[in-house]
Amino acid sequence: MARHGGTIDRDKVNATTEDDIDRQAREDGTDDTSHLSAPYPTPATVRKTLRMTQKQIAEMTGIPVATWRNWEQGRVGLDPAVQALLRILGREPDAARRALNVAAE
């Protein structure tokens, strides 16, 4: 059986910079500050607070980077488990790193 690759342009994804992500968030309206009153921080807020790239936070959490990007871009909804993870990462990043067995950088 022939194996078909996905439609993701990996070179383009890997070449995307933090500035590109911020610009795209502004353009698609996902850069708002509603996270300040939300019951959980946005994926982008957590990542930026931890000063990590999407690839780094995806590796730390064991989540595919494409999934993390979809969360940040609002392409998919965040189920309750993801919301809980974001609260933990946002409120207790050191404890989360210990639980995930990841050293702080």
For residue 38, the model assigns a pLDDT of: 64
Tens-level pLDDT at each residue, the chain (105 residues) = 455 556 778 788 888 888 888 788 777 766 654 444 568 899 999 999 999 999 999 999 999 999 999 999 999 889 999 999 999 999 999 999 889 876 555
Q: What 3-state DSSP class applies to 49?
A: helix
Q: Which residues, other chains included, contact 88 with Cβ-Cβ below 8 Å and sequence gap of 6+?
A: 95, 96
Res 34: pLDDT: 47
Residue 101: what pLDDT? 79
- What global pTM score does this model have? 0.61
Q: Give the integer Cα–Cα distance in Å for 63 and 57.
A: 8
Domains and CATH numbers, the chain: 43-100 (1.10.260.40)
Cα 60 to Cα 63, 64, 89: the distances in Å are 8, 10, 11
Check residue 103 and give its pLDDT. 59
Residue 74: CA count within 13 A, CB half-sphere: 10
